Structure 1
Amino acid sequence: MTVNKISTGVSGLDEVLSGGLIEERNVLVRGSPGAGKTIFGLYFLAAGVEAGETSLYVNLGEPQSYIEETAAAFGLGADAIRFHNFSPTQEQFAEEESYTLFESAEVEQPDFIAELRKTVDEVDPDRVLLDPITEFRYLTSDERGFRTGILGLLDYLKDAGATVMLTSQAGGTITDDDLQFLVDSVITLDVTAETRAVTVSKFRGSSFRRGKHFYEISTDGLTVWPTLQPGEQAREVEEGTLASGVSGLDELLYGGIEQGTVTILSGPTGVGKTTTGMQFLTQAALDGTQSVLFQFEESQRTLRKRAAAIGIPLQQALDNNTLSVIDIEPDEHTIGEFEHMVREAVEDGTEVVMIDGSQGFQQNLRGLDSPTKALLRVGRYLRAAGVTTFLMNEVHNITGDFQATEQRTSNLADNIIFLRHVEYRGEMRKVIGSLKMRTSDFERSLRELEITESGIEVGGPLPQLRGILTGTPEWHQSPDDQT
């Protein structure tokens, strides 16, 4: 069965709904006070006006002046929306007696229904917003009457050819379970101290994107960030390798990293993960490959300064506009916003992405119920999109038992490159090796890694270094090494 979809007017929400709302059906938008239900409704009506449709706002709550001010603040053109008001006016608030929206269910219900039907017949709306429909309870004497009245109203509006959005206050002791059974679709807005999220629990006649999708209401408007889905940006990857430009490192990897794979660079703090990843990224950018670094651990200014100090031409890559560095500050973005940045980068043609690093990812983003699950989702999306990805993964043990990762993300990796500190003759040194390369062969030996003023240097194999995977590395001297 083919259904016609119409836009909700909300950036990102149409994607969650697989193209938008189903024409001539109804949807319940529910949430606590302040969640933005009315704003969602205004976007819905404004989208109708923009499409040349007629939009009707049946106002059961806020004074119309407030609604018009809200619409104007978001540039939604309230002048083109038709209003039918049952809300209190300023004059009614000023009366000595307290204002009651529906003083008598028995007396006012016929008048309400008759007046609303008259308005619908006159306006002939394509879209109708009933905000909030929970006020309709005041027009009925019992729950059965409420449900019967809602069903009759929805049937009438459907026969009139209208697509209907209803809003309801939900939260605390207030429930709207009965409404959820009566409507075709249900969208819930959840608000916490840190985040806003939208979920779709019911959508008759269409598929939709499940899960939690973050949204934001700001001076720039209302935006929903759909959760990433691996495969939504699937594309073919040209065969080839991504070299680092450091001869010893490329020899270790038998030429470099296979394009379109996910590589985890794992090791303790200060061992050179970011520097090594930056070498790959800068080399790719200088070769003309569009690259992006999402930096969670340090500022772009610090990164540029450090790169200049060790001879990595990061600034040249930035000046060539083939490399972008995006700082992700603590608590500035939700995981939804970050996923949107990743999606935009892929859509803009980015072929190499570096995420530095997993610890900052977990600490800096808001709304992370499961950091590991979110990181896996991002990695799988990038792999499906054919993007070569580098993820910096910090392990806390500088010495002791060997761990490839601590976030249980090793199953994401096509390749694992590990870096470790080792002690030799009372001096701390760094070694690098490859633990896994899914699509190609690699050298099984360890090599010494040095970060100098001239850049990264990777020496030859170290057959005398043993025990690193047991957590107790030892440097066995050969007779030629002994003094």
Structure 2
Amino acid sequence: MTAQRVPTSVPGLDDVLSGGLRENHNALIRGPPGAGKTIFGLHFLSDGVDNGETALYINLGEPGDYVKETVEHFDLNPDGIHFLDLSPSHEDFDEGENYSVFSSAEVEQPSFIEELRSTVEDLNPDRVLLDPITEFRYLTTDERQFRKQILSFLDFLRDNGATVIFTSQASDSLSDDDLQFLTDAVINLETDIEGSTLHISKFRGSSYQRGKHSYEITDDGVTVFPKLQPGKWDPEQMAETSDKLSSGIPEVDELLKGGIDAGTVTFVSGPTGAGKTTTALQFIKEAAGRGERSVMYSFEESPETIQKRSRSINLPIEAMLEQGTLSIEEIAPNEYTPNEFTSQLKTAVEDDEVRIVLIDGLQGFKQNLRGYTTEPEDVLLRIVRYLRAAGVSTIITNEVSNITGEFRVTEESVSNLADNILYIRYVEMESELGKVIGVLKMRTGDFERSLREFEITEYGIRVGDPLEHMQGILTGTPSFQEDQNDERSRDGD
């Protein structure tokens, strides 16, 4: 449990491994062809070279020239890694007649093992990549002998002080269960048309992040996007906070009894075109005035459209962008896996010190993830729990389909995630289409129960006094109710 960590240099993977591999231990990376097993291992070796360590790559599979091209392509210290190429070559094929009498195991094993041993003893490497270890199967006559040789070789490397990664090509036709049993850690790679994921199924003597984590391979190498781990939320601590986020609109703040509590989750709900995004941006504008940073993830509109619309209502979005108090990230359909998106969000919170996160377009958010998960609500739950624990305020705009008629705040059962629900509603008043705004829920405090007229003008949002004499507003067709004192006064006249 006290073994030092050996970083892999794969961005995100060391987070999953709680700091990296355990020093002087071994790990198995297994997966189908093309999953990136070799590239993961080469990152590990390259990090050792960067830190002045000796790194040895034992190649048992791919042609040596191909492996070196891979190292050079990803700029993984091609001159610093020692290569022992034991892969089959054309010379082996040309001399194939020598194998007519003896089996492969009988002919190759002595010289093969001797070369491995002498190379390790000469170099005394700190890090070793054996790729793939399954080639050892062809040097033994039975499974028991295979397991014995693997254990002996791993013990030999451990005695020489090496931290080892070895790879296995996972397939239905050739099981590697025995290798998983023998190794200290197992990293599983999986690929399909929806993306690539990894998970840790074994890590002796260490904690690790459970679940499936996304990864991608680009020209820069491998990047892992860990599954977001929600922190612990203390509702009592949240209830005691005195920080309030103002909207900058006195009437809205009156509805909210001063504003929304910092670190809570607020839904701004309403039909299309009602002004949800504009209302949400009001809170960000006020936070920017205090020097706080916010990020807006737009799932339905481009940053250009948002800026153009904001200019038309005198909302200073462009100034906030220039000052760095706001960044707008457009999220295109199927652009990110859930873990890629949450990794981006985590970076914004922990590195950029963002204090408000706006998820603009709950339906767009869900649609964006449906290609990768059947439960986007679970991803949203992890996001809001993480942001709550980090003390970050979350605002989510949620579109409902009903323009008027039956009152609905959310299309699906997501309102339970919200600490606060601010809703905007279309209503018909005197044969004209108007809007009202109200508060349905505030988990951490009291709020005004009345509704107020809501309008977006060229000067910004205008909110009126409480509509005290209107009835049936939420049905979409309100009626005017006279005060009883006024009625008695007329009757007396």
TM-score in same-fold range (> 0.5): yes
Q: How does 1:276-425 map to 2 (within 5 A)?
A: 276-347=279-350, 348-365=352-369, 367-425=372-430
Distance 1:86 1:400 in 2: 75
Highest CA radius of gyration, 1 or 2?
2
Match of 1:275 in 2: 278
Match of 2:261 in 1: 258
User: Please, what TM-score do these two structures have when normalized by structure 1?
Assistant: 0.92
- Report the residue type matching 1:70 in the other structure: T
Distance 2:170 2:327 in 1: 43
Contact 1:63 1:90 in 2 (8 A): no
1:346 to 1:143, Cα distance in 2 relative to 1, 3 A: same
Cα distance, 1:372 vs structure 2: 0.6
1:5 to 1:438, Cα distance in 2 relative to 1, 3 A: same
Q: How does 1:411-450 map to 2 (within 5 A)?
A: 411-450=416-455
- Report the residue type matching 1:456 in the other structure: I
Larger mean Cα displacement after TM superposition, 460-469 or 26-35:
460-469
1:337 to 1:309, Cα distance in 2 relative to 1, 3 A: same
Distance 2:466 2:307 in 1: 31
Cα distance, 1:325 vs structure 2: 0.9
- Report the residue type matching 1:78 in the other structure: P
- Report the residue type matching 1:49 in the other structure: V
- Report the residue type matching 1:148 in the other structure: K
Cα distance, 1:221 vs structure 2: 2.2
Distance 1:263 1:208 in 2: 32
- Report the residue type matching 1:112 in the other structure: F
- Report the residue type matching 1:73 in the other structure: H
Contact 1:264 1:415 in 2 (8 A): yes
Match of 1:20 in 2: 20
- 1:405-446 per-residue CA deviation (whole Å, 9 max, x = no partner) reads 334332321111122222334433222211111222110112
- 1:91-132 per-residue CA deviation (whole Å, 9 max, x = no partner) reads 556x496999x9612332233222212221111111111101
Cα distance, 1:251 vs structure 2: 1.1
Distance 1:364 1:263 in 2: 21
Contact 2:265 2:394 in 1 (8 A): yes
Distance 2:260 2:98 in 1: 71
SS at match of 2:156: helix
Contact 1:464 1:475 in 2 (8 A): no
Contact 1:372 1:407 in 2 (8 A): no
1:400 to 1:152, Cα distance in 2 relative to 1, 3 A: farther
Larger mean Cα displacement after TM superposition, 335-344 or 60-69:
335-344
Match of 1:30 in 2: 30
- 1:316-365 per-residue CA deviation (whole Å, 9 max, x = no partner) reads 22222211111112222222221122112112111111111211112224
- Report the residue type matching 1:137 in the other structure: R
Q: How does 1:123-134 map to 2 (within 5 A)?
A: 123-134=123-134
SS at match of 1:435: strand
Contact 1:5 1:19 in 2 (8 A): yes
Distance 2:13 2:374 in 1: 21
1:68 aligned onto 2:72: no
Larger mean Cα displacement after TM superposition, 59-68 or 155-164:
155-164
1:402 to 1:128, Cα distance in 2 relative to 1, 3 A: same
Distance 2:394 2:113 in 1: 59
Contact 1:61 1:87 in 2 (8 A): yes
Distance 1:163 1:184 in 2: 11
- Report the residue type matching 2:334 in the other structure: D
- 1:42-78 per-residue CA deviation (whole Å, 9 max, x = no partner) reads 0111111112211111111111111111111111112
Match of 2:143 in 1: 143
Distance 1:258 1:97 in 2: 77
User: Please, what TM-score do these two structures have when normalized by structure 2?
Assistant: 0.90
SS at match of 1:79: coil
Identity, in percent, stands at 57
Distance 1:423 1:175 in 2: 68
Cα distance, 1:138 vs structure 2: 1.1
Cα distance, 1:206 vs structure 2: 0.5
Work out the number of aligned pairs and report it.
477
1:205 aligned onto 2:208: no
- Report the residue type matching 2:294 in the other structure: S
Cα distance, 1:209 vs structure 2: 0.6
- Report the residue type matching 1:404 in the other structure: V
Distance 2:269 2:292 in 1: 24
Contact 1:446 1:462 in 2 (8 A): yes
- 1:368-423 per-residue CA deviation (whole Å, 9 max, x = no partner) reads 34211111111111111111110112223334543333343323211111222223
Cα distance, 1:273 vs structure 2: 1.2
SS at match of 1:398: coil
**What RMSD, in angstroms, separates the aligned Cα atoms of the two structures?**
2.6
Match of 2:490 in 1: none
Match of 2:180 in 1: 180
Contact 1:261 1:388 in 2 (8 A): yes
Cα distance, 1:468 vs structure 2: 6.0
- Report the residue type matching 1:376 in the other structure: L
Distance 2:104 2:41 in 1: 28
Cα distance, 1:194 vs structure 2: 2.8
Unpaired runs of at least 5, structure 1: none
Unpaired runs of at least 5, structure 2: 488-493
Distance 2:414 2:57 in 1: 49
Cα distance, 1:220 vs structure 2: 2.2
1:167 aligned onto 2:161: no
Match of 1:49 in 2: 49
Larger mean Cα displacement after TM superposition, 377-386 or 31-40:
377-386
Cα distance, 1:242 vs structure 2: 1.0
Larger mean Cα displacement after TM superposition, 70-79 or 140-149:
140-149
